[in-house]
Amino acid sequence: MVVARSFIIMAVKNLVIVESPGKIQTISKYLGPDFTVMASFGHVRDLPKNKMGIDVKHHFEPSYIIPNDKKKVVSGLAAKIKKDTVVYIATDEDREGEAIGWHLVQALELEGRKDLKRIVFHEITKQAILDAVANPRTIDKHLVDAQQARRILDRLVGYELSPLLWKKIKYGLSAGRVQSVAVRLVVEREREILAFKPEEYWSLVAEFTPEKSKESFEAALQKFKGKPFKLTNEKDTNEVMDALKGATYTVESVEKKEVNRNPAAPFTTSTLQQEASRKLGFSVKKTMMIAQHLYEGVELDTGHEGLITYMRTDSVNLSVTAVTQAKEVITKTYGKDYALATPRLYKGKKGAQEAHEAVRPTDLSRTPEQLTKHLAKDEMKLYELIWKRTLACQMAPAILDQVGVDIVAKDYGFRATGQTVRFPGFMAVYMESHDSEEEEEDGEKILPVLTEGEKPHFKKFDPLQHFTKPPARYTEASLVKKLEAEGIGRPSTYAPTISTVQARGYIQSEKRQLSPTDIGMLVNDFLVEHFPKILDYQFTAHMEEMLDEIEEGSEKWQSEIADFYGPFHDSVEEKMKSIKKEDVITEKTEEMCEMCGSPMMVKFGRFGKFLSCTNFPTCKNAKPMGDEAKKEEIPEAEMKELQKKFADKKCKKCGKEMTIKSGRFGEYLACVDYPTCKTTESILKTIGVKCPECKEGELAERHTKRGGKPFYGCQRFPKCKFAVWEKPTSSEHAMELHEAAEEKSKEKGKGKKKGKEE
């Protein structure tokens, strides 16, 4: 018998609404039983998905709706609110958080209530929470307007450009105001790399020992007759070595100077993303996910505690409390010589929100070692990075002794450099990384004691050939750095921007390097040609400045958007009529179809560029291009082996010979009478692992019919249906993978069953 149960939702005295449920436990602990803390789970209202939702004829008035998946959240919050309930909107303190708070007020019909309070805090600590409750403010409508302007601007661009891309290139494509500019940066860098022509140059390093010791050191050739000198080829290099045979080398000068090196500023969102990428190998998305968790808090011996301050910030400021505590920790851990007499202040970039703080630990006395048992491996890595950077920025400068020695022989000048650390200062804790080898600081290299006039003993030359290198591809870290330098985007947009362009298939990441896909280059070229203003770096940066001005209250968002939308809309309408799809997606070539003799043309398909016969659909011959073509090239030795193996193979349908072809998923057999006879057969590539199920066949790489996802199955299929997703290294490993997959499937089934019962 099923017994019906009813629930009575009691109104509460004080309701605090936060964005994320991860904050509830900690804030509830600090505020006590008189306060109920609930989460909105992000935005509760948004523009509709099935239409633009903006009245372009009436001041761009947005039509917000409560999405179906948020109706339960809104009704749950509303049920807790009565006439005497004090409601605290405690969403995040940035534009997005302010807008979420305003949408909550609208959805819950709280506008005009005297007991409605807006509170903000940049760290989830007891003092910060209590101070926020004691000092509420009202919703900042300028901040809300700035977020609304961004949302409406992005919706207008996306909803107008995307249908144009569908009609003129391919259905399902999309364009974004900031995302498309990020793609342009990656495309332009790729073209620089493709156009780069390497130039040869040589370096000549001589090895010496001082007159009075056997400690060897190196000096590089830099000058000829007192002027900078570069070697461009092997011939010139050999001539220099010949000219210096038997030469006497003399120390011309020894320069020693003391250098103070200061630490990098505490983390902003972008510098945190960059360093986590360089030092830890994290994607920007992963960095922000882990930082969010550290901000919301973890369970410690003392209870649930927030470990870092708010992670979306462009400020390099630290609070008085933070720098005071930093000094205490530095003095206790490293000694008073490592601490500063007065705090070190950093100058932020123009437009940074100075009221906010940099990303820092909420309690610097909470060392990484103390958190080992409470944090997962990657959480510990990121916390330690933030802890060290914050501590280092308030430590004494490093004091270095730098030495430069000039050595001359005949008309040639050699230079040896080195440094010693007299006092490590902040370097005892932290050193900032860089995106390229050229940017990295020289490692510590100690030179032996040398004096002017000394004649060191020559040991040998080390001539090395080099070639100039093209500019490096962007990494996620260097792309964030470039976006910030160009004024494109803000702290909250870097991670979603980079994630979005990869999810859309416009950019791919391999070994942490970003490169454009074929479709990414096509869409970029189309937008640059027809909508240059949208993809102009200065224009995009200007739009960010405009949003900043709206936030400051000096501009009205409707008038700014009106100035942009009119010309943009007219251009989209004109391009919709004037551009022909075939002019965009096809490209003529001089190659002829080997099957019917017609010309071949370049087309775009699901996997990028390919060659297609112009006689389609009568002739369906098609061939891959670029990287895909390289993948499908069969090594000569392998081809000979396959030809020998299938020399007598005949078509099952027409009896004619079968020829070996190569496709996206490997080699296959095709009838020589194509396209009259379209018979094909797969050639399975075994991987040298016996099937653990039937113990007769070998496992071979196969691909799913939908999507072409690779898996490894028995070559005796369908008689033996053993298969695993990951490539096994042995029969035992294959069985382990199979059993693990089955166990996971069972657990998933139990979860679904439990959900239905509940």
DSSP string, 7-29: --PPP-SEEEEES-GGGHHHHHH
Question: Under CATH, which number does the domain 148-196+473-581 receive?
Answer: 1.10.460.10
The model's confidence at residue 212, banded by pLDDT at 50, 70 and 90, is confident
C-alpha dihedral sign at 496, 499, 500, 501: positive
Q: Dump pLDDT digits (tens) for 328-362.
A: 999 999 999 999 999 999 887 665 555 578 999 99
Q: Dump pLDDT digits (tens) for 711-748.
A: 899 988 888 989 998 888 888 888 888 887 887 776 65
* Topology match between the domains 148-196+473-581 and 269-396: no
Nearest to 619 by CA among 647, 585, 593, 601: 593
Q: How far apart are CA 586 and CA 578, in angstroms?
A: 17
pLDDT at 188 over 90: yes
The per-residue pLDDT for 251 is 97
Q: For 340, left (φ over 0), alpha (ψ -120 to 50), or beta?
A: beta
Compute the average pLDDT of residues 17-37: 91
Q: Residue 7: exposed, middle, or buried by beta-carbon count in 10 A (0-12, 13-18, 19+)?
A: exposed
Domain residues of the chain, as ranges? 14-139, 148-196+473-581, 200-262+399-467, 269-396, 690-758
Compute the average pLDDT of residues 414-438: 83
Compute the average pLDDT of residues 154-176: 90
Determine the topology of domain 269-396 in CATH: Topoisomerase I; domain 4 (1.10.290)
* Active-site entry in 30, 295, 310, 383: 310
Compute the average pLDDT of residues 541-563: 87
- Taking a C-beta distance cutoff of 8 angstroms, is the pair 455, 212 a contact? no
Percent of the chain scoring above 70 in pLDDT: 90
Q: Dump pLDDT digits (tens) for 487-515.
A: 888 888 889 999 999 988 899 988 889 99
**How many CB atoms within 10 Å of residue 196?**
12
**DSSP, residue by residue, 686-713:** EEEEE-TTTSSSEEEEEE-TTTT-EEEE
pLDDT at 598 over 90: no
Lowest mean pLDDT segment, chosen from 39-48, 412-421, 443-452, 555-564: 443-452
The model's confidence at residue 707, banded by pLDDT at 50, 70 and 90, is low
pLDDT at 642 over 80: no
Whole-model pTM? 0.75
Residue 396, CA atoms < 13 Å, CB-side half-sphere: 18
Q: Is 310 marked active-site?
A: yes
Residue whose tokens read 């009609």? 167
Q: Dump pLDDT digits (tens) for 43-69.
A: 999 999 889 999 999 999 999 999 999
Q: Dump pLDDT digits (tens) for 654-698.
A: 888 888 776 655 677 888 877 678 788 777 778 889 999 988 889
- Taking a C-beta distance cutoff of 8 angstroms, is the pair 217, 254 a contact? no
Compute the average pLDDT of residues 119-126: 90
The per-residue pLDDT for 11 is 66
CATH superfamily of 200-262+399-467: Topoisomerase I, domain 3 (2.70.20.10)
Determine the topology of domain 14-139 in CATH: Rossmann fold (3.40.50)
The model's confidence at residue 607, banded by pLDDT at 50, 70 and 90, is low
Q: How far apart are CA 436 and CA 44, in angstroms?
A: 43
The per-residue pLDDT for 702 is 81
How high is the mean pLDDT of the chain?
87
The per-residue pLDDT for 7 is 42
**How many CB atoms within 10 Å of residue 628?**
17
Residue 52 has which token pair?
Answer: 């633009």
